[in-house]
Amino acid sequence: MSRPEAEAAARNPGPLAGLDEWEDFVKDRYPQPREASSFRDYGDNVRPAVREFYRLNHRHQTVDFVRGKKQDFLRLNRRQMSIWEAMEFLNTLVDDSDPDTELTQIQHLMQTAEAIRADGHPRWFILVGLIHDLGKVLCLFGEPQWAVVGDTFPVGCRYSEKIVFHEFFQHNPDWNIPEYQTENGIYEPGCGLEQVLLSWGHDEYLYHVVKDYLPEEGLAMIRYHSFYPAHREGAYTHLMNDRDHYQMEWVRKFNPYDLYSKGHESPDVAQLKPFYQELIAEFFPETIAW
Ligand SMILES: [Fe+2]
Ligand SMILES: [Fe+2]
């Protein structure tokens, strides 16, 4: 890691004590269906750091911002790394959260993959579990938390009221651009999510890094796993086409493994490593561009 990257990692810029704090919030907002009789009221007891995180995210994720980040990062000219190297690189991310109770990034990835494997799913599905959060290396490239994690949403059209902390969008410069605030905004109805700019973060980035190597269902899981307004709230169907509806079913299949496999027994990374290295080699070349 170069010196500026190391410093950015140490700072872990943003209000959250760690990226996990956003995921813990999401898990709280979307409890496992059998636990929930109705939607959980998160309004008053949400931690100030999480609220501040969403304020920044909703304030700064504009159409111009997303276009700029795509232009920059999707050149994939940062470095060449194998999947395993990316896992180890991500593990260097320094969080302020309690190291005794939190899983390392690799442990979260393996726990997700192991839960998928235990349910007898295909090998590509297990692999998706293993890699789905590797886009968080954006943090190690100096990106702030609000541009790496957070529930994603379309920019360039009206914000669904189902997006968490919808009220913060009033401070987004796009709020005052009438063209961006109609139901379809800059898009055609039914145009398909491929045409739609989602807020920038680890999902979209990783999708582009791995898109040549996995089946489309797995790629959809990676690309849309934080798109909670769509896969948990059913919003934005007016922009989707048939292919998106099909893919959303797979995103929904994936989501419980991401959210609810946490907290189970922590996986033995050293012992599992040979299995996962073989799995990686089945789908990926030695190194890929990040
Ligand atoms: Fe994620
Ligand atoms: Fe995850």
Interval between CA 174 and ligand 1 midpoint (Å): 25
Number of other CB atoms surrounding residue 265 within 10 Å: 7
Relative to the alpha carbon of 105, which ligand is closest? Answer: 2
Interval between CA 139 and ligand 2 midpoint (Å): 15
Q: What is the pLDDT of residue 38?
A: 44
What is the per-residue pLDDT across 122-153, written as a single tens digit (0 to 9) for each? 999 999 999 999 999 999 999 999 999 999 99
What is the per-residue pLDDT across 87-110, written as a single tens digit (0 to 9) for each? 999 999 876 655 555 788 899 999
Which of 204, 199, 193, 197 shows the shortest CA–CA distance to 239? 193
CA distances from 176 to 154, 157, 165, 167, 171 (A): 16, 12, 18, 14, 9
Paired sense of beta strands 80-81 and 288-289, if any? antiparallel
Q: What is the pLDDT of residue 42?
A: 63
In the structure encoding, which two tokens stand for residue 234, read together? Answer: 């059913």
Number of other CB atoms surrounding residue 233 within 10 Å: 17
Interval between CA 85 and ligand 1 midpoint (Å): 18
What is the per-residue pLDDT across 199-254, written as a single tens digit (0 to 9) for each? 999 999 999 999 999 999 999 999 999 999 999 999 999 999 999 999 999 999 99
Interval between CA 262 and ligand 2 midpoint (Å): 9
Q: What is the pLDDT of residue 41?
A: 55
What is the per-residue pLDDT across 9-68, written as a single tens digit (0 to 9) for each? 445 678 998 888 898 899 888 887 655 444 455 666 789 999 999 999 999 999 999 999
Interval between CA 188 and ligand 2 midpoint (Å): 31
Which of 70, 96, 74 shows the shortest CA–CA distance to 12? 96
Relative to the alpha carbon of 222, which ligand is closest? Answer: 1
Single pTM value for the model = 0.91
Q: What is the pLDDT of residue 20?
A: 87
Q: What is the pLDDT of residue 36?
A: 47
Which of 204, 16, 5 shows the shortest CA–CA distance to 92? 5
Interval between CA 225 and ligand 2 midpoint (Å): 8
Higher local confidence (pLDDT), 276 or 21: 276
In the structure encoding, which two tokens stand for residue 181, read together? Answer: 């605030």
Task: For the chain, give the DSSP string.
Answer: --HHHHHHHHH--SSSSSTHHHHHHHHHHS--GGG-SS----TTTS-HHHHHHHHHHHHH--HHHHHHHHHHHTT--S-EE-HHHHHHHHTT---SS-TTTSPPHHHHHHHHHHHHHHTT--HHHHHHHHHTTGGGGGGGGT--GGGTSS---BSSSPPPTTSTTGGGGGGSGGGG-GGGGSSSTTS-TT--GGGSPBPPSHHHHHHHHHTTTS-HHHHHHHHHTT-HHHHTT-TTGGG--HHHHHHHHHHHHHHHHHHHSTTSPPP-HHHHHHHHHHHHHHHS-S-EE-
Q: What is the pLDDT of residue 10?
A: 46
8 A C-beta contact, residue 206 and residue 132: yes
Higher local confidence (pLDDT), 283 or 266: 283
In the structure encoding, which two tokens stand for residue 105, read together? Answer: 């990034």
8 A C-beta contact, residue 133 and residue 254: no
pLDDT exceeds cutoff 70 at 279:
yes
Interval between CA 20 and ligand 1 midpoint (Å): 10
